[in-house]
A and B are shown apart, each in its own frame.
Chain A
Amino acid sequence: MTAITLERRDDYWLARFLAMGSPCELLVDSAERALIAQLADLAFGEAKRIEQKFSRYRDDNIVHRMHHNHGAPVEVDEETAKLLDYADLCYRLSDGLFDITSGVLRKVWKFDGSDHVPAQEDIAALLPRIGWNKVTWSKPYLTLPEGMEIDFGGIGKEYAVDKTAQLLTARSNVSMVVNFGGDLFVTGLRANGSPWRIGVDDPDASGAHALAQLQLARGGVATSGDARRFLLKDNIRYGHILNPTTGWPVRDAPRSVTVAAPTCVEAGMLTTFAMLQGKNAEAFLKEQAVQHWIVW
């Protein structure tokens, strides 16, 4: 099955595949190729399942049903309900800055490194279609007004990492790292008692240089911010984290935030919250008392 490649490293096995638009890796602290292949298949399966279930490009999943019910309530399954509950809490904790209905802004914002900043009128035209407070969520029924969209992009990858880790640890207690495009989870200490060493990427030299090295015995790491996803116009850099209430990128946001937390989902949400803080990102993370790295 060429979708998954297996490589042997010095003292661990590395499985690689593409999912959720990112290069995904599974590092396994074992020498048994058969086990690695099994675990890699499971990881690939789970990543693809979540990708397909919450993708907005498909016409056969819950997201499609949500978007095409013309304002009528949609009954969602247990897993989707949990994600909506989580998104709801994050909306409240962030005073409305984290909003899973803000995905429509991608229609005018294309962060391709160019200087094509959209016009205010175009942004303003989309604002009525944004706002979790306009959605009726009464488990298990979601009522989405016509023209609004639900975008799980802000938690999807981290969620997939944690779910995949759960699935794999139920199958084997070998130490592993599930890494989907830089959002990762470490399941435990390696057999020789040492932690996994995780490099925190330097956005200026992505892939070639590490900013810091974290040794993780167990827990998640997530990074928000992408060196390539920005716009530059009149010497102002527009990062890709958008404020859903204004439709504009958060001002003075860091270029990259990385957080280590007990789960990948929590780490991811903390990086998002930090980015939403703009220039107060450092102060925010310090107060939350989490290990973090910020690149301005």
Chain B
Amino acid sequence: MQLTAPRRLRDSLTVATCSLLSLDAAHADFFDAKSLRNVDSAVLVYTEQDRVTVIEPVVQFKKELGDGEFLTVKFVYDAMSGATPNGATPTNTVQTFSGPSGQNSYTTAAHKLPLVSFEDTRVAVSLDWELPMSRGLRGQYNVNFSRETDYTSLGASASFLWDVNNELTTLTAGIAANLDQVSPTGGVPVGLSALSTTVAPENDRRVEREEAEGSEGGGDGGSKTKTGYDLLVGVTQVLTRRTLMQLNYSYGKSSGYLTDPYKIVSVINGTTGETLPVNSGGYLHEKRPDTRTRNALYWKTVYHLPEDVVHVSYRYYWDNWGIQSNTVDLTYRLQLGAHDSLEPHYRYYTQTAADFFTNSIVDGNTPNYASADLRLAALHSNTVGLRYAHALDSSSELGLGVDYMHQTGDAHPASAIGVQKNEALFTDLKTMSVTADFSMKF
């Protein structure tokens, strides 16, 4: 065969194929001469990955702006409620606390873990713009904003996905930055300062805030900021027709006000283990370091069965606060007919305690940082969930999901002193959340 006029061969072949398949004017809108020549431009880069995002979409709209270019807008409305420990340790006497705004004082019976009930609503909006950049490279840009009663967050990110290895492998690199502002009800307390009284702590905080403005000079007294950045690198690999695997490493650093303004730490007598009276400095506001460096390794596999899909993932996390955690996640998507699916889901999570975590501070031994927030303690949790989705038509879907989590930790640690040994220093946390979402493409 002559190779001297190669292009002419393919041109002739293309023309001949047109005749064979009767591709005449009537079919021109489907097969036009340009598309017959440019199949290369029709081969697109890998589309978006499945990424873990903080925002749980409630309403989502996706629009194609151009060839392979998409804009996605998500609105979230979350209502959360539950009861959370306020940080004080259970003891052998009744304890009385005030709510953050000074009203709603609440009392905890002896031998019970002090819990404060909370309710919060959150509104969030996020904008995603994805576009092909050059052959094999795709960019995704995101801007997001969320607001709760006492917390505002603004974030932006950029990620790049690059296909290599004949498009079997995709490399991902991303960077994100966020700026958060916390404006707790009643102002920002000075870390490790004592609650002077259980009544009218708002006044209490106002005094401290004024002092803080002079010494710390940060924020506007009533609020503090926190900034952070995150980097992510990952690889996604198609292993077989039915299997896809992903591996990510991420690194993040936060600086600024990382303390929980509502949490306190009990101060106990070093011999008896009893909590000191409030007027003797029995309760201190917690204090956490002002930087945190986080790392995570994440692995996930998606396996397609004839009708259903299985997702398995594992995440190992560690940071410079001394916390290491493991998460195992299993989701099974059960297809029920053409429009409906049911997704049962199970997650197991375990973590070690932060270095500065303590159930209580021994009188006279105040450390530089301390938090009794049980979320920083050694704990493990099990979550089970179920999501039902119904496709309304080929481009929109309604979903309803329910999640139940049970978290347990060490109720009788070795560090318990005196009367504390008779108390359960960790009370199990149980939460239930319900999510409804709607998404549409147009």
**Contact surface of A with B, Cβ cutoff 8 Å:** 7-10, 13, 29-33, 36, 82-83, 85-86, 89-90, 93-95, 97, 159, 162-163, 166, 169, 174, 191-195, 197, 199-200, 207-219, 260-263, 265-266, 269-270, 273, 276-277, 280, 283-284, 287-291, 293
Contacts and interface: CB of A to CB of B under 8 A. Distances in A.
B43 A287 contact: no
Contacts of B17: 86, 262-263, 265-266, 269
Given A86-B20, A193-B70, A288-B6, A97 B42 contact: no
A277 B68 contact: no
A280 B6 CA distance: 13
A200 B37 CA distance: 22
14 contacts: A8-B307, A10-B333, A13-B338, A86-B20, A214-B167, A215-B43, A215-B44, A215-B46, A215-B167, A216-B42, A218-B35, A218-B39, A266-B13, A277-B1
Nearest to B8: A93
Given A192-B441, A266-B14, A287-B3, A212 B168 contact: yes
Contacts of A95: 1-2
A262 B3 contact: no
A210 B168 contact: yes
A213 B168 contact: yes
B197 to A, nearest CB: 59
A76 to B, nearest CB: 14
Interface in B10-60: 10, 12-14, 16-17, 19-22, 27, 30-31, 35-37, 39-40, 42-47
B240 A209 contact: yes
A220 to B, nearest CB: 8
Nearest to A209: B240
Contact of B240 (A33, A200, A208): A208
Contacts of B150: none
B338 A32 contact: yes
B295 to A, nearest CB: 30
B43 A217 contact: yes
Indicate the member of A95, A261, A270 with the most B CB atoms within 10 Å: A261
Contacts of A287: 3, 6-7
Nearest to A284: B3
Contacts of B37: 262
Given A207-B241, A215-B43, A216-B43, A83 B441 contact: no
A291 B39 contact: yes
Contacts of A83: 20
A94 B165 contact: no
Top 3 nearest A-B pairs (CB, nearest first) are A212-B166, A287-B6, A33-B338
B353 interface: no
A199 B238 CA distance: 9
A283 B10 CA distance: 14
Given A97-B1, A269-B13, A195 B238 contact: no
A197 B241 CA distance: 9
B83 interface: no
A30 B393 CA distance: 9
Given A31-B391, A93-B13, 12 more contacts: A8-B306, A13-B338, A31-B338, A31-B394, A36-B338, A82-B19, A166-B21, A193-B441, A215-B44, A217-B44, A283-B3, A290-B39
A212 B45 contact: no
A217 B42 CA distance: 5
Nearest to B397: A31
B9 interface: yes
B62 interface: yes
A270 to B, nearest CB: 7
A200 B13 CA distance: 23
Interface in B370-416: 391, 393-395
A162 B21 contact: yes
Contacts of B45: 215
Contacts of A31: 338-339, 391, 393-394
A292 to B, nearest CB: 11
Given A29-B394, A191-B441, A213 B6 contact: no
Nearest to A7: B306
Contacts of A213: 166-168, 238
A263 B338 contact: no
Contacts of B393: 31
B73 interface: no
Contacts of A32: 338, 394
Contact of A89 (B16, B36, B46, B68): B16
Given A8-B307, A93-B9, A284-B3, A195 B165 contact: no
Given A86-B19, A166-B21, A287-B3, A30 B14 contact: no
Nearest to B10: A288
A243 to B, nearest CB: 11
Given A217-B43, A265-B17, A276 B1 contact: yes
Contacts of A10: 304, 309, 333, 335
Contact of B10 (A169, A277, A290, A293): A290
Nearest to B333: A10
Given A219-B39, A261-B39, A276-B1, A210 B240 contact: yes
A208 B14 CA distance: 33
A195 B14 contact: no
B43 A291 contact: yes
